[in-house]
Amino acid sequence: MEIDIVPVEGELNVGPQHPGSGHMRIYVKLNGDIIDDAELDVGYVHRAVEKLSENRNYMHLIPLVERPAILDSIHMNLGYVMAVEKIIATDVPERAQYLRSFAAEVNRIASHLYGLGILGIFLGHSTAFMWGFGDREVWVTILEALTGARVTNSYIIPGGVRRDITPSIMDMTKKAIEYTRKKLLDWRKIFFYNPTIRARLENVGVMTKEKAIEWGAVGPNLRASGVPYDVRRADPYAAYSKLDFEIPVYKEGDGLARGLVRLDEMEQSMRILEQIIKEIPEGNILSDRFFKQIPPIRLKKYWEGQHRIVLPGYYASFRPPKGEATARVESARGELFYYLVSDGSPKPFRLRMITPSYRMIYPFKQLLKGSRFADLVSIYGSLDYFPPEADR
């Protein structure tokens, strides 16, 4: 006797407690195991950073803007400070610009390794999860040595950076590069070229070049779909105009390409770090406008120590002139945009931050449609979507 198998239609709630959903709820409508539609219910970790900024002075706001993406805090820090610097019209010494790029690329590598580790555990590959977080530790340690903080670094300040680099940090970075280059070969062989992992990622969640542009994708996800766009090249900031690096691009637009483009970007980040170590110019790490106002006692400690900026009280409550400014940086997940308005008081009148994960909400939803339910976690992990960053 023949039995007709009729696909069962239904609705499924994935999260926010589900280990595959992160800090959000994914509401899917299923036809059998095919996702007909999906709604991303975001906002579970909304921190109200933009509203809180109206009650913080400009310096006290630095640790706050880092919170949405603590694993990529240098970029969150940098974009905001660049907007402040445009309003107060201050210069940044060349050495500080190189140090900003140095910290940003160290943070990019650490962030990508975090994302690959999460992708691994989403796919049931516990080795990749342990590798990602173990390899990331090498770079987090460098950030800690440079900035004095382990997670939210608050390293970049208007007019420069808080601390100078030391020969020991440079040596740590050289060793980290040597180690990571070898480890990236293992990542390719044991993870990405593993037949099971390829089956879960290849031709899954395909985002064409045209769709990536139409949907507003950014960062590695955009470049994995064949669009060679990177803010570091399109609108150079820090020391990037003086550094030689390539923009990795893949044309396949699937989960595998989105993973591999991040491996290639880590190699380019290490290439940038090697150039900075060789070419970083001498000089101050804070603009003369602020450096000259440091009291003599603190200035003496500056020269005797690791060139650490001990900020005087007035710096925390300066009043920028009235005005508005925008700034953007290429964070680990893509273009991060800031809009800042000053009314002449010690606190911002308005702050708006548009994060790369926020921009990826719509592409994420579109890629789920028509996919198999089992591929939901594959697509999620390959996008490196970070819910707190989207929610802000």
Helices 376-383 & 94-122, crossing angle to 10 degrees?
170
Task: Tell me: pLDDT of 278 over 90.
Answer: yes
Phi/psi at 19 (5° precision): -65, -20
Token pair in block for residue 259? 């993973």
- Tell me what percent of the residues of the chain surpass a pLDDT of 70: 89
Place 298 in a pLDDT band, splitting at 50, 70 and 90.
low
pLDDT of 9 > 80? The answer is no
Amino acid identity of residue 241, one-letter, is S
pLDDT at 76: 93
pLDDT tens column, 61-111:
998 999 888 889 999 999 999 999 999 988 899 999 999 999 999 999 999
Q: How far is CA 271 from CA 55, 116, 121, 213, 261, in A?
A: 41, 20, 29, 28, 15
Per-residue pLDDT for 203 more than 70?
Answer: yes
Q: Which residue did the predictor score with more confidence, 371 or 310?
A: 371
Share of residues in the chain with pLDDT > 90 (%): 55
Task: Give the global pTM.
Answer: 0.91
- pLDDT in the model for residue 22: 54
- Element housing 75 (H / E): helix 73-88
In sequence order, what are the residues at sequence separation of 6 or more whose Cβ sits closer than 8 angstroms to the Cβ of residue 196? none
Measured in residues, the chain has a length of: 392
Tokens at 103, concatenated: 């910290």
* Structure confidence at residue 10 (pLDDT): 73
Among 323, 376, 313, 381, residue whose Cα is nearest residue 350: 323
Confidence check: pLDDT of 371 > 70: yes
H helices present in 94-218, as ranges: 94-122, 126-147, 167-186, 195-201, 209-215
How large is the angle between the packed helices 167-186 and 255-279, nearest 10 degrees? 150
Give the model's pLDDT for residue 208: 93
User: Among candidates 329, 328, 381, 384, which has minimal Cα distance to 357?
Assistant: 384
Residue 356 pLDDT: 93
Contacts of 249 (CB under 8 A, 6+ apart): 223, 224, 226, 227, 228, 261
Is the N-terminal amide bond of 16 cis, ω within 30° of 0?
Answer: yes
Give the count of beta carbons closer than 10 Å to the beta carbon of residue 196.
10
Cα 38 to the center of its chain, rounded Å = 26
Residue 309 is predicted with a pLDDT of 59
Q: Which of 157, 158, 177 is nearest to 169 (CA)?
A: 177
